[in-house]
Each structure stands twice: as C-alpha cells, then as structure tokens.
Amino acid sequence: MSSDWVAFWDSPHSIYVNVRHRDVHYRLIARDIAALVPSREARVLDYGSGEALSADLVAAAAGKVFLCDAAPGVRSKLEARFGANAKISIVTPGDVALLPDGSLDLIVLHSVVQYLSAAETDALFALFRRLLKPEGLFVVSDVLAPRVPAAVDAWALVRFGAANGFLFAAFRGLVRSLLTDYRRLRSRLGLMRHSDAAMIEKLAAAGFAARRAPTNLGHNQARAAFWARPR
C-alpha cells in the first residue's frame, strides 16, 4: 500500500461518521469472519485489520488470531486493546512474511485490494498462497467492481445507518466527506477495481481455485467477496 494511504489510515480521519458507526462496523466484520473460522484450533490472519474493535469475537472462535496493519498508530491501538489476550497477536506486514509456510487456516483481506497496485496485489496473493494450509481458505472481500458509482456506497451507508441508529449522522457524514483527505487521496491516487472474472483470474495466477462468495463481509453488498483455496 502506498505511504500516502498508510499515513491516512494512521491519522485522525472521518471515515466513520460517529463512534456508533465505527463500533457496529467492526462488530459486523468480526462476526462475519468468526463465521468462517473452521475450528477452535484454527490460526487466522486478518491482514489490513484496521482497529478491529471486536477481534475478540474472532479469537473466541479460533485458536490464534493475527491482526496485521501497516500503520504503526493503528497497531499501537490494537496492542492497547488486545495486548492481554493471549489468543491475539499484533503483527506487521514484515512479521507476516516470516510466518511458516502452510501455517494458517484462514486469511481475510477485507477492504484492502482497492488501495493496492496490481503488482502489490499479485505479491500479496503469492505470499498468502505460501502461508495457507492445503485445506485453508483465503477470503478477499469488499472488492470494488468496475463502473459502480460512489452513490451506491453512499446508499449502503444510509441503509446501514438506518438499521443501526445513526441515520442522521450518516447523512451528515456524507456531506462532510466531500471535503475530507480521503476524497482528495481517492481523486489523486484512484482506487483499484476488479470484475469477478478479473479477480478469479488473478487468484488463479497465484495458485488458488476461487469463486465469488454468496455475500460480502460487512454491510455493503454492492461490493464482492471471493473465496479461494489452494490448488
């Protein structure tokens, strides 16, 4: 991920319209990940985890959870929140690269590929192929499709706010987002988009057999998730 994006996620930002939005967002992601954990002994990697406020829900379903984020400030928050939980380890991308081959049962890459170049995505997929057990599952989710307008994401946020008690904050947040650093970065750097066929082909090139998942992780079902297993 470019240093500009890492710096953005490591700084105060207004991606979440209020504290409730942030909390229910992370709780929903954690519940979706926990539902994919194959056993109580499973070793799980959440790569690009963000603050992962409800990672303890994943840890309760697994044997070990690795939370990886490139932003040092984010990792500090994770350490403060989960440092006492023996089932959760906070790691850097460099730490992940040093994990043993075939040591992970589940890898989740949620809402990350849009910030990566094609070469960065290929390298990360190759790494995950090496780290995943032969029977393991790699989930890449929140993938943006080509030609889907930003209004679709906005409507998904409004519906999420209406269902979870922050509707008016969602509207205010959408107006505020027009002036944020995120919008400026998005305009300058762009976001990577992948069709279903392109993502499945990219995963196949890394050694996975992949298919589109029935649902995306999280609230935005206009975005896609893919399940991939080593071939």
The pLDDT tens digits of the residues spanning 164-201 come to 999 988 888 887 776 666 666 766 667 899 999 999 99
- Structurally, at CATH architecture level, domain 3-230 sits in 3-Layer(aba) Sandwich (3.40)
Whether residue 157 contacts residue 185, with contact meaning beta carbons closer than 8 Å, is answered with: no
Q: What is the DSSP string of 30-43?
A: HHHHHTT---TT-E
| Prediction pTM value | 0.93
According to the model, what pLDDT value does residue 191 have? Answer: 84
Rounded Cα distance between 158 and 156, Å, is 5
Handedness of CA 140, 52, 56, 168 (dihedral sign): negative
- Neighbouring CB atoms inside 10 A of 189's CB total 14
| Total length of the chain | 231
For the cut 70, the answer to whether the pLDDT of residue 15 exceeds it is yes
The pLDDT tens digits of the residues spanning 103-136 come to 999 999 999 999 999 999 999 999 999 999 999 9
Whether residue 46 contacts residue 66, with contact meaning beta carbons closer than 8 Å, is answered with: yes
**Phi and psi based region of residue 224 (left: phi greater than 0; alpha: psi -120 to 50; beta: remaining):** beta
Site of tokens 């071939």: 231
Rounded Cα distance between 59 and 150, Å, is 34
Rounded Cα distance between 182 and 5, Å, is 9
Percent of the chain clearing pLDDT 90 (strictly above): 77
Amino acid at 132: L
The pLDDT tens digits of the residues spanning 32-86 come to 999 999 999 999 999 999 999 999 999 999 999 999 999 999 999 999 999 999 9
- Going by C-alpha positions, the residue among 175, 220, 226, 174 that lies closest to residue 204 is 226
Mean pLDDT to the nearest integer, 198-205: 98
| 187/93: higher pLDDT | 93
- Going by C-alpha positions, the residue among 213, 224, 190, 50 that lies closest to residue 118 is 190
Helix H or strand E encompassing 221: none
Q: Per the structure block, which two tokens stand in for 213?
A: 């998942």
Distance from CA of residue 188 to its chain's centroid?
22
